[in-house]
Every structure is written in structure tokens, then in C-alpha cells.
Structure 1
Amino acid sequence: MTGPQANYFIVTAALLILLAGESAAWRRRRRTCSAVNCQWGPWTSWSSCTTQCGSLGTRTRTRPYSPAASCGGAPCSGSNFETEECNRFCPNGTPSGAGCDCSGTGFTGTCCDIAADVDECALGTDTCHDQATCANTPGSYTCDCNSGYTGNGNSCTDEDECALGTDTCDENAICNNTPGDYTCTCGDGFNGDGYTCTDDDECTLGTHDCHEAATCSNTPGGFACACDPGYNGDGNTCTDDDECALGTDTCDDDATCVNAAGSYTCDCNPGYRGDGNTCDDINECDEGTDTCDDDATCTNTPGSYTCECSNGFNGDGNTCTDIDECAEGTDTCHEQATCTNTPGGYSCACDHPYTGDGYSCSASCSDLYPGLRPARNFGKFRNQCFWSPSHRTRKLNYTKARQECGSHGGAGALAMIKDVETQNFLRNHLKRTSGKTQKSFWIGLDDLNDEHDFKWNDGTLLGGYDKFRSNAPHKIRDCVVLWRTRKVARWEIKNCGSTFPYICQLDGGS
């Protein structure tokens, strides 16, 4: 093979080799292509509303693919096009269909934006009160109450100038209110037009009615009558002086004055002795003439005495009976003590196993709850007894642990840690008891009734204090343990069927 044939063969072979190489590269690229899932880009801004006002307008927006699906990736779900209702605010009136309802606004037009003034005052279509003045305004009108009336124009009430003190009557005149105005009339003993009044001198004019043995004195708007010396009365009638009534006698303050013709007598009141002009108090308590009960205290008073039953007795002082403070519940014995009544008092004695003076009683947690052992595992904080088991005590699931704590009375429950002080107390308490060998303990917190809605054993919500170690999902874990190490203490959510040691919380008893 020579010449052109050889050259053709060489070129052909070279092309075949190149094509074979490109095909292999293409196959390699096909094998390495990665699927790209479609994702939505951000929404565009909303378009303009299709109507200017009313409630039938719509507006739209779109969103692009960013990126589109490729290499067999999942396509985007949903639509790239969104429409919603819209309308613009009616400047006057209310939305109605594709426009606005202009009724009663004084405006016209699709959007109630064209002033169509109507003179409601002239047409008599206003709502002004009968005693108000109507003034037309563009698109509306105003109402102002007339002089002498007050209100908003639609409702007007008469101003009582007399009651308000805005009248101009004389201070010695009587003001009489009238619709929208008032009148003035001078009072008795004065004369004038009501706006100016002058005093009548009844004594000079002889129009008074004083007794003949009395003296008349003129006063503004009237007169006064006073009986002459040696007489007494109101001036219109005068009689002989009654020194007792007039207080001109010389009787002691603790004596009774008795009037007599031209004179008077003085007699000491009961409880006093003397000549009437001088009277001294009688001390019935010292003289033993009182009638107080033996269990009462006698206290002398001016002219008499009082009897008051002694402490521990009740009655009117003349008769006193013992008060049973125990039966009436007025004793101050401790709630864990027994009250015993005594004459005029009572005594208190602490009930077993409490000790004290009866007014203050206390007991150790181990004495109150002998069924929980070992006793050394008790701790007391804020008058609450806390107990944790030893490593020998059988571990229980959450429900049985809660039942076990409740079976010992005293409102028993699993420990409820509602603040940092209780958390710190239990952390330190466990260091010297069960916590030496055990790390996790059931406490009284769960969300068994409502997922994520944690409640304490007493029914109260979790509140703002928690020490959860993790926020991990817990669909099948609903009960909480206190987990502690040497340095820290946290809460963990566990399966309620798991068995752990537990911490009981009971009433401290004082």
C-alpha cells in the first residue's frame, strides 16, 4: 500500500482513535453526573391591585426555579404563581362590591371621593336639637346649642345658671331658673329688682314681732329679739330666768340644779357626795359596794364603776363564766399539740412523736415517716422532708416510685425541684447519701398527659426554671430523672418504664 491510499488509511485510523477516546470520555462523564433537586427562588413583589377600592380586587406574584431540576433530580412541588384578594381603603364610606357605599357621607363617586355638598340645614334633614343652631359645612353640617343650653348640638339641655353660679343675681336675692335663662327676686327682708337688693330695717319700721320685754336689733335681711335682763326666752316670748337652764347657777358639775321661784337648789348626783356646790366621787371598788363577779375586775369611774371579766372568762362583769379556749379554737397551741382547758386559761402538750412546749412542736423526718429507711438518708429543706434510698433499695419505674412516695402520707410525692435553691440542696444531699454510688434518680416531673407540657406531681406547670441536659426529641420518653456527677446536676428525660432510684418529698410537719 503506497501513495494516497496509505495516507487515507493513516488519517482514517487516527480519526477512529480520537472518536473512540471521546466516546469513552463521554461515557465517563455520563457515569459521574449528580442529580440536582429543584428549589424555589424568592417570591416577587405583589402586583398592583386590579381595583382601586371595594372588595373584589386581586393581585399576583411569581417565583423562579433556583435551580431547576437536572440529572434526574426531583422537580419543585407547588405553583410558581399565587393570587390573593385585595382592595384599597375607601376614603369615605365603606367597601361595597367593586367600589364603596357612600350613603350618608356627603360624597359620591366609585370611591366616595367627590364632595357632593347638601345643605342639610336648609333642607331640614339635619339632626340638630330644637334649641341648637345648624351650620352647613362641605359634605356635612355642625350643630351648636343656643345660649342658655349645653350639649353636643344633637342633644341640648337647659343650663341651670342658678345651680352653676353663673347668674348675676344679688347675693341677697333668689335665683329662679327658666328655659334658656333665669330671673332674680330679692329675698325676705330685702327690696330691689333682684340684681340689686337693699336691707329692710324692721326695727325702725316697726314691722318686727319682738316681745314687749325684749329689745329688737336689725340684721341683714331680718331682725333679732333678745329678752331684757331678768327675762329669758327667744325674744318673741320672755319668761322668768331659769338659772339652771341658763347656766348661771353655782352647782358643782356633778350635781343637779333644780329651779325655784327666784332661786334654785343643788343636789349631788348618784355616785357623788357633798353639799351640791362641791361634790366628791364615791369609789365603790375601794368601799366594796360594787356588784362585780369574783372573776371580774372592778374599775372606778367618775360617779360609778365598771366590771370587766378577767382574761379567760366572758360575761357582763357582774356574771362571768370560764371560756373553753380549746373548744372555741382561740388557743395558740401548735397544730401538732393537744389543748386542755383550765379555769381562766388552757395548757398545750405536743402530740407524739412531736416534742416542744406545746406552743411550738417539732419532729424529725425519720420519726414522722418510720416506714422509710435508712433514716440517715433523710434531709430537711423549707419544712419539707426529702428521702433517697440506699444502693440496696429496690429500683422502681416512674409510676411505682411515685406510688411508693405517696404511700407514706404527708402529701408524699416525688421530689419537685422548682428553683435553684432546691436543686442545690438535693445535689449536696445526695453527695452524702445515695449519690455516692447512684447517679440518676426519679423526680416528680413528666409530660405523660400532654407531650412537651411538663407538670410536677402536684399538678403545677414546669415554670421558668429547668435544668434539662438536652433538648433532643423524646416522643417515647416522658419522665424525668435528676442526673448528677461530682460537680454538676442536670435533668434527663427517660422512658417511664425504666427503673431507677428515686427521691421522695413529704410534709415536714411543723
Structure 2
Amino acid sequence: MHDFKRGDARNYPAKPFVKQRIFHRLFAMYRICLFLCVVISCVTSQEAEEPISYTCTDGYTFDPVRQVCKDIDECALVPDACKGGMKCINHFGGYLCLPQNAQIFVSNGDEYTPTPAPVPVPAPRVPETRRFIHSQALTIQCSSGFVLDEQNYCRDIDECSTGRHTCTSDQVCFNTRGSYTCQCQPGFQKNGDQCVDRDECHQAHYCMHRCINTVGSYYCECNPGYKLASNNHSCIDVNECEGSNPCQHQCYNILGSFICQCDQGYELASDSRSCQDIDECSYSNFMCQYQCVNNPGGYGCTCPDGYQLQGSRICQDINECERGHDCREDEKCQNYHGGFRCYPRNPCQEPYVRTAENRCVCPSVTSVCQGLPTTIVYKYMSILSDHSVPADIFQIQATNMYHNTHNTFQIKAGNEDGEFYLRRSSNLSAMLVMTKPLSGPREHVVDLEMVTHNNVINYRSSSLLRLTIIIGPYAF
């Protein structure tokens, strides 16, 4: 009802009879409603009627508006209705979980209408979900490489195990989803439709040193001095010195090989393994003073008779006169380089008389001594063979000193080949000089004369020094 405002005569003019008419209509409607309520309550109180219920089969629900059972779309209502990548297909009274590659044909009995679907990853076996389906027929057709099983599931065909492949005898069949592939055996590669050997050595390989290709494979070899490790690819050093020593003396291992060394006094033979003795004596004539004797691994020096080894190479004269000799009692032993000799203790011969050791005097009272040296003195000395020259070897010295006397010196005998000369040193002495080398063993006797003059008293006398020079057999 409108609430009319009083005084708004321009829009709604006041009409009292209209208001009265409306009131009578409303009252009549109220009376009718009151009557119906009474009737309904009376009927209800007399007899309760059963409510009407509608039951639909599984997969359908009642539509109260249309008063019919309508299909439930489980694919839209049920979360994750299908598992494992299966696709959900709603149908009358239920739904199906089918592989993604399944093709569905819905038919009314006249014709088929294919509905293609994508082909993704395979899914596990579809659970049996059966719903009430109306009269329409459902036909499933699998893609190539698949076959429909009893559960209407498109399963992959294993062409390799069923023999439904075209791989040759030298190829290996590998099943793939919906198909298969033909691959060559390990170590081979395809050349057109044929499998040929793969030369691994010309491609990437793992050999450390050398790669040897074989049919369908390869193997590794190591350089000499190495051996294959347990992985059959790496090479490790062989210690040749362990176990059987390849060297005659000393073995030293190095990477990939070994070296041999010999003990002192030996040298490697041409085979670089054996050791042969070094003949040290052939290297120099100065290894030993006298004679070098080669020994296995070394050498030794020897000395001749009359000498003994001093140190390792020097020969030293043996003084037999001190060690022992076979001279008689009336003889005296005179040692020289390399030996000794026996000389008479009294060398004086008639008319000389021995007055001291090695000194003989001719008595002046006898006429036989006239013209002879007054005294003869015997001296002995030893020199080396082939002594270097010139060499001062002996000095003659006057023993008696008289006033106003004059001495002269000369070689009286024993210098027939001119091996010596006498050099006057002073009025009282002279030096015997050797001018030529003498080779031994040899005994050389030289008579040295000293003549004394005194013009005041008209005195003249001579003395003789008989020098026996024993030349040794060697230059040492």
C-alpha cells in the first residue's frame, strides 16, 4: 500500500470512495484464507497421507523440477576419479577410466562417431568401474602397437617377444611403447641396414697407452715396463727389481723400466744387465810402481824380489842386511836397491895394510910402496837404475890439512865411457857427477885420486878412493 501524503493534491488527488473499495477487497480475501486453513487442518487431523518418493539407479539423481532421473557427471564431481594418468570418460549412469590413447566410438546402433584422444604415458590397469549405461553401445579401438584386453584396456604389444619385428639376426630388438627399435650389438654400429664393427680405438676410449680394436670390442695394452691395472684401462709401473732380479749385481726400478749398476771394479756389458770385470791395469801404466795385477772387481800391485809393498802401489827396498843375510863372518853385508852383496871385511891387498875399516895404507919404509898411492879407501854406494842426469852422486873430501899444500882431483879409472866427471869444489873437496844414466843391475867401480903438493918442502903424495857404485835393477 502506498502511504499517500496529505496536501499532495497535484500528484495524488484525494478520493475517499477509492480507499473504501480497497478495504472491502482485503477483508474478503482474509475470510477466504481463514476458511481454507480450517478445511486443511480438519483434513490433516482426520487422515495422514504418505509422502511421494522417487528412487534412481546408481549413477543417476532425481531432478525435482523435471521430475526425472538425470545422469551424474562423476568426472566433474569426483576429485581424481581416475588414477595413474588415466582419462575420465563420463557415461550414462557412470564413468570409465581409459588410457589417454584410447579412441571412443559412441553409437545409437546406426553409425559410429570416433572421438580421437591424445597419446601420453601408459597408466596402470584401469579399475573396474561399472555403471548403469543406457541403450547406447560403447566400442574402444586401440592405436597401432596396442591391443585391447579383456578389461577393455589398451595394452602395449611386445613385438620383440612375439616375433612381430623386422630386426635382423645381428640386431637386438628393444620394445618401446606402441612400437620397437632395432639396435646393433654392443661394439657395432649401423651402416645403412647392416651392423658393422665400431672401431673404438678411433673414437673415444679409455686406454691409457695403446688401444687394440677387435670385432665387436677392444682391449688395452700398456707400454713395456707397465701392466694393466684392475680396471683393464689404466697402466701401472712394473717393479722389475722385485722377484727375479734381472740385473747381475744391483737393480734400480724407474718408471716404465729399470737400470742395472755393477759393483765397484765392474762395468755393464753390452746387454746392460750383466757385469764384467774392469781391467784397471790396462788404463794406465802408473797404477802400480812395479806391476799391476788385475783381480775380479779390482786390482793389486806387486813388487819384485828385494822389495816390499808400501801402501797400495809403492815398492820399498828390503834391507836384507838388517833382516838377515848369508854373508860369511869375514864378509860384511852391503845393501843396495833390490838386493845385497857381500864384501870382504879386509879389502887390503899386499903391500897394503888395513889400518881402519875400509882403509888400507902402504908402509913407506918398503920400496914396493914407491909410486903407489899412500892410502886406499874403499867406499860403497847404491843408486837407482836409469837415474836422471846430471846428478851429484858422491863427494870426495881431504882429511889431512897441511899448510901451503895444494890438492888436485881426478878420475883415475872406471870412466872409460865417460859416464862421470869430477867437479872441483874447493882445495879440499870435489864432487863426482854422473853424466849418463846407468841401467842395472850393475856394479861400477870408479877410482878417484887426490894428489897433494907442497912446493915449499917439495912434498907430493896421493890417496885413492875406490868407489863401488851398485846400480839397482829398477828405477825405484
TM-score for both structures, normalised by structure 2: 0.24
Pair member with larger Rg: 2
Q: Greater helix share, 1 or 2?
A: 1
Q: Greater strand share, 1 or 2?
A: 2
